[in-house]
Structure formats: structure tokens, C-alpha cells
A and B are shown apart, each in its own frame.
Chain A
Amino acid sequence: MDSIYGSYEKTLQCIAIRLNDMINDYVNRYLDRTGDRLYEHLSWRIKSPESMADKCRRENLPLTPRSALRDVHDAIGIRIVCLFIDDIYRNINELRRLPGCRVIREKDYISEAKPNGYRSYHLILEVTDDVPDVDGHSPGRYYAEIQLRTIAMDTWAALEHELRYKKNLRHPELISDELRRCAAELAACDVSLQTIRELIRKEDAE
């Protein structure tokens, strides 16, 4: 079977790389200006055609490039992992100003964590590109999902992701309670480290 992305797979990769470069541009400018790195690490991926097809099936969408590129918004995924909570919001400010991009949706799971304890900031960027899109618009309109989180949130999400696919856990309730508690403790560390940084910087400024 052909890829659900049709002829667009290469285009998606090019856009992901371009976004990656634009992010690194503002990060480097910020570094020159302040001496702070806005992220600890950055990664991107194109959702595999198989997972995209699964997602379309789950959402009762036809398995077409149009579904994958227009109705679903996370064909391109970029994750920005930061040292401190405040850096997440600094990145968001910069992302809002990216040329040719527009934030069309955002979900703040940091202010309101998911019931399982998941914390992260998600936003969907609409990106314009010279390559005409699946609806024939030129310039074309594409989407990317940006996930921003701290290292602590990222660590938690990695473990939760691993456990999510484990069947036959003997005490699933107990484990999800404890995972939720770990999320609360990691959130506490994030806030404490943030506070310590603020106090140190205030002292330096005096």
C-alpha cells in the first residue's frame, strides 16, 4: 500500500527541518543576548505512515493524504525539552513570532495536568510553504505539533509511555496512583528549581 502521505512525505521532512532551523535561530539569538540556552534538547519526527493510518482509522477519517495533512495536525512533531519551567513560556513567546507561522491551537497541560499526571505544553502551528498543499493552495498550508516540557516532565512521560503498553500489570490502579504521585513530586522539583534560580538571579542583580 502507498504511504498515507502520498507524495508529501519529503515536503513534510523539509518543513520539519526548516522549523527546526527557525527554532535554533531564535535560540541562538537568545543565547547571544542573555547567555541562556532556551532548551536542553530538541527533537523532531514525522509520524510514521502506519501510526498516521491508525490515527485516521480511530477518528473515522478516510485513509487519504488529505486526512493526514489537513484533518490531523501532528504529522510533523517537534519536542522542545527545557531545563526550567519559565523557559517553556519564553519559547512559546518566540514561537508565536516565527515568520510564516501561526499558532492555531494550544493546550496548557502544565497549568492543568491531565488526570494521569501528564504535564506538557502543546501547540499546533500552521506553517506556510512554497510547495502547494493537498487542497491546491499556494503557498501551501501545513501543520506541526510542538510539545514543550521540562526534563522532569519528559522523564515522567517516557516512563508512562513505556507502561501504557504493558498489559497484565498486577496492580494497575496502584501503579497509576503512584505514577500520579511521581508526577506531582517532579512538578514540585521543577517549581523548587525554578524558584532557586529566581532567588540566585535576584541576588546577583543586587
Chain B
Amino acid sequence: MKILIAEDESDLAEVLSAMLTHAGYTVDAVENGSLAVEHCRNDAFDLIMLDVMMPVMDGITAVQEIRRLGVTTPVLFLTAKSEIEDRITGLDAGADDYLTKPFAMGELLARVRAMTRRHKEYSPRILTLHDVSLNMDKSELTCKNSISLAAKESRLMELFMNHPDVAFPTAELLDRFWHDEDADSEAVWMYISFLRNKLRSVGASLVLLGEQGGSFTLKQGSST
């Protein structure tokens, strides 16, 4: 697992690098926000650690730039200040967590573990429910055979499979998946119909229940 550190205090940067390397991580260390952004442009990391106060470019500007690149890697702020205002600004700018200096190394390592774990474990790429599995990386639904899903079908199916037996009203689905589009309940109905027929075509025992314009629920039906 690869971690990017941007920290201008060289002593602290060295200690952090040594600790994290010892814990089994691969570490890239830079001394300002601008270099951190540059690294994110050219490389992929599993966690980014940013000091707030840095020369050339501060951590808050850096996280904004990094998010603008489309990078969703978890960002941990290291801040000497304990003012609430700074924490709020940092989190709002796109950071996921912060740690106030001075901090205990044990706590830092625990936070690194927690944040990288969240990225991995909380978004499993293969969901399974009863006899059906959904591979999010391949956008493929599998039971007795496999069928591809369109991007929106995958995300809808992911929601339903993570919440079986929960009724999702058409309005909520529209808001979740067609948020920025000029779409109405017809679009939801069409995608529900696509998913229904795709579930049937792979021989799934799962069924999507509900009427056009109403709420939809994924349930286990009778196996065929």
C-alpha cells in the first residue's frame, strides 16, 4: 500500500516515513502542497497525508487541487492548530480526517489502518446475495450465466443488493442516480425493467418488485 506524505518539517517527515515503512507501507515524502498535487497527477496512492501549514502551497489548497483532479484517495490532515475553524475548513475542502500535532505514533498508525481499510472493505467489488453476484469492476451480473450491466444499472443493482427487502420510492432513485439529469419516473421504470429482465435472463431467484412510479424492492422469489 502506498502513502504520500507532504510535510515541511523534515524531522517529522523522516520519522513518519520510517514508521510507515516499518509498518509495511511504501512511502513518498514531499515538502510542500504543490509537489503533493504533482505526485497525485502522476501516481496513485492509497492514502494522502497533508500538513496544513506548508510553504509554496498549503494543505487546504492542495486537497482542493487533488480533488479537482478527480482523485478520491482518503486524505488525512496533520495540523498544528487545534482551532475548530481550521478543522472545518480542511474537512470541507475534501479531507477525510485530521490529527492534531503533537500526536502519538500509535494513533497515527491506527488511523492509517482505519482509513485504508474503509476504502477497501466498505466498497467490496463483488457483492453476493443468495444465488446472484454482482461484479462492480466488470459490471457483470452472474447467476446461471453472466450478463453485462450498463453503468447506471450496476449502481442501481449495487444499492438494491446492499439493501434487500428495503423499498426505494421512484423519487428517491431519481434523486440518487439521475440527480444531474433531466429525467423523470419513466427513466427509473425503464431501468427497473432492464434489471428485471436481466435478473430473469441469468436465472436469478432475486426479483425486483414494484409498480411503475411506485417503490421498488429486491426480494428473493421462488427459484426457477
Taking Cβ atoms with an 8 Å cutoff, the residues of A that contact B are 85, 110-113, 119, 180-181, 184-185, 187-188, 191-192, 194-196, 198-199
Contacts and interface: CB of A to CB of B under 8 A. Distances in A.
Given A111-B203, A191-B198, A199 B148 contact: no
Contacts of B150: 188, 192
Interface of B: 138, 140, 144-150, 189-190, 193-194, 196-198, 201, 203
A55 B21 CA distance: 63
Contacts of B138: 181
Given A111-B203, A112-B203, A188 B144 contact: no
Contacts of A184: 140, 145-148
Contacts of B203: 111-112
A187 B190 contact: no
B66 to A, nearest CB: 33
A64 B49 CA distance: 78
A188 B190 contact: no
Contacts of B149: 188
A199 B189 CA distance: 9
* Among B138, B145, B203: residue with most chain A CB under 10 A: B145
B67 to A, nearest CB: 32
A79 B148 CA distance: 26
Q: Which of B148, B197, B203 has the most CB of A within 10 A?
A: B148
Contacts of B140: 181, 184
A184 B202 CA distance: 10
Contact of B193 (A113, A185, A199): A199
B148 A112 contact: no
Given A112-B203, A184-B140, A195 B197 contact: yes
B165 to A, nearest CB: 24
B5 to A, nearest CB: 38
A180 to B, nearest CB: 8
B197 A191 contact: yes
A166 to B, nearest CB: 24
B193 A112 contact: no
Nearest to B199: A191
A188 B203 CA distance: 14
